[in-house]
Structure 1
Amino acid sequence: MQQRTGAATSSSAADSGKGATDHPHPSRRSDDDGDGGGGNSCSGDPAAISTTISSKQQVEQADAREPKEEQVAIHYLASFHELCVVTALLPLVTLFTCFVTAYVFQYDDVHETHCRVYNIVPSISAITGVSPQRYFWRISIALHIGPRIPIAFVYKNYYRSQLRRLNPAQVPQTSLLITLILVLNCIEVASLAGVTYISNRENYPIHERIFITFMVCSLCYMLATIKLNDILNKGQSLSEQQRLSIKWKKILFAISILSTVGLLVFFAKHRFYCHDLAFSWFAFFEYLIAIANMLFHFTIIWDFPSQFLMIVQGPRENLAQYLSNRPKVD
């Protein structure tokens, strides 16, 4: 009996010791909960919190310094074909209007010449030198000249894009011819402005010299353009529009040459001999030359049938890269 009681006492004591081991000191449990209860070992460390905030600020500053990609925006889009049609027809319509109104309402003024002989056809300088036709014609030419310079450079780039068709030995001379065409075109435009804004009544010697410059540059431009097209299109299959363009360029150049010969002959008869109707024939050939020149430039409608003119805003690097890698026009 005593042995059994002692065993039971020993067992109870062992159980009590075990219970004491399973339940640690309350203050120790509090420390453990403080370390792991929140799931963040540095939540209570001020230095760690400061480091985290500083890292976030650096990331935000780096994002702010990083340049944002600029979007490409098209501010203006116009049909290049329609622009060329308006540009070519504007002086033609204006010339016809000036002729009719001056002939009907200012007959005596536009037929006056230094010879004072019979005359039935007034010159272009006469019908565009009286008022109000003078202002109408000058406004028309101002609107006409504006697009002419960009068109000249469009033609230059258009021709240069076709140089890859040629034998490498032909490229330098052809490139020089393209530059010559650009220069002649710009001089022709400048001469047209000079003839328009310096009338024969205001300063006849200067007007005459500028008119001669216009005539020479216009004929040389036509001839050089025809020659260039023959070089670039030799052995190529052309579309119907391209064939029409080349055909009419040659026809209009021939008309201009013949009209120039007739103009010089009758100008001499009028200037030195004062023949009757000599000035009328001179004016007639002058109109033919002007109309042929306008129609020659009008053939651009076949050269650029579906192009567009755009004003684009965007990163210069992206636009420059696009222009350098743009597809070539055949």
Structure 2
Amino acid sequence: MIRIPMRTLTLVTSSLPLLGFIICVLISFFKDFEGVNYTHCRVYNFLPSISASIGGFTPQRYIWRVAVAFHTTPRFLFAFMYYNWHRQDTQNWNKNSKYKTLCQANLGVNLAELCCLLGLTYVSSEEDYKIHEKCFIFFVVFAFIYMVTTCCLCHMRKTPMIQRSRRLKHYAFIAFVLSICGFSYFFVRHNLYCEPYVYSMFAFCEYISVVSNIGFHATVAVDFRDTNIVISSLDNEPVNTQNGYLLR
């Protein structure tokens, strides 16, 4: 039987895409600077976009794919843990149909966000730009809806929750929304005017969106701070699942 504290699992899960992203950008910056900063209008830029950093060159492509692969399984687990956590607010679940529907929608968009992340990871812009682009767009859309529905559920909860978690979620959500506005503006401006440095500003806003998205999901460590993941291979083994989730 193995017990894994949620804080440890969350730290590892959040660190994988964050470190993978940082490593890919650094390698791209020092190893493939001209290639990752190349644009159709050939103006000078100094920061590579995420798509160029994670999918255009090796070993960056493989580093990012491995990081996302190991990070995805716990994320699916967290999605269902949050769904059960919201259901435990029985005052809302049994009496408020809007709360129940919002919980179900929250789980759905969370899973959809993960699927889109897998799509944009394993289909790079170099391999199929249209599929990669659509996966990225839907990833942003589903991530936005997930954050909105999560914040709404936090406000609707009758069962008390940690104020620090709610506050961190709000900060991460605001940063994510601002980054979306930023990279949308700079992307349109780049395609219209092809000015130097504009695509780099687009890339910087992308970086903020990645970090804020990871930070939002990392608040699971606060919400489930006293929870352990219990892994047991024996059906008849007595297991204390208080403050824990049992996996067999």
When normalised by structure 2's length, the TM-score is 0.91
- 1:259-298, aligned counterparts within 5 Å? 259-298=179-218
**Which amino acid in structure 1 is aligned with residue 193 of structure 2?**
Y
Partner residue of 1:314?
235
Q: Matched residues in 2 for 1:210 and 1:146: separation? A: 19
Match for residue 60 of structure 2 among 114, 130, 133: 133
Q: Matched residues in 2 for 1:204 and 1:270: separation? A: 18
Partner residue of 2:7?
81
Are residues 307 and 169 of structure 1, via their aligned partners in 2, closer, same or farther at CA, if it must alter by over 3 Å?
Answer: closer
Structure 1 position 200, deviation (Å) = 0.7
Partner residue of 1:173?
98
Partner residue of 2:134?
209
Structure 1 position 149, deviation (Å) = 0.6
- 1:109-258, aligned counterparts within 5 Å? 109-129=35-55, 130-164=57-91, 166=92, 169-170=95-96, 172-233=97-158, 238=161, 242-258=162-178
Provide, for residues 29-66 of structure 1, a one-character-per-residue CA deviation record: whole Å limited to 9, x for no partner.
Answer: xxxxxxxxxxxxxxxxxxxxxxxxxxxxxxxxxxxxxx
Are residues 123 and 300 of structure 1, via their aligned partners in 2, closer, same or farther at CA, if it must alter by over 3 Å?
Answer: same
RMSD: 2.2
Q: Matched residues in 2 for 1:105 and 1:167: separation? A: 53
Q: Matched residues in 2 for 1:167 and 1:227: separation? A: 14
Provide, for residues 146-196 of structure 1, a one-character-per-residue CA deviation record: whole Å limited to 9, x for no partner.
Answer: 1111111011111101133x49542x2211111111111100000000011
Deviating 4+ runs (over 4 angstroms): none
**Does the aligned pair in 1 maintain the 2:50–2:207 contact within 8 Å?**
yes
**Which amino acid in structure 2 is aligned with residue 289 of structure 1?**
S
Q: Matched residues in 1 for 2:63 and 2:212: separation? A: 21
Q: Matched residues in 2 for 1:135 and 1:87: separation? A: 18
Partner residue of 2:246?
none
Structure 1 position 237, deviation (Å) = 5.4
**Does the aligned pair in 2 maintain the 1:259–1:289 contact within 8 Å?**
yes
Q: Matched residues in 1 for 2:160 and 2:90: separation? A: 16
When normalised by structure 1's length, the TM-score is 0.69
Q: Matched residues in 1 for 2:90 and 2:101: separation? A: 11
**Does the aligned pair in 2 maintain the 1:252–1:296 contact within 8 Å?**
yes
**Which amino acid in structure 1 is aligned with residue 112 of structure 2?**
I
- How many residue pairs end up in the alignment? 242
List gaps (5 residues or longer) in structure 1. Answer: 1-74
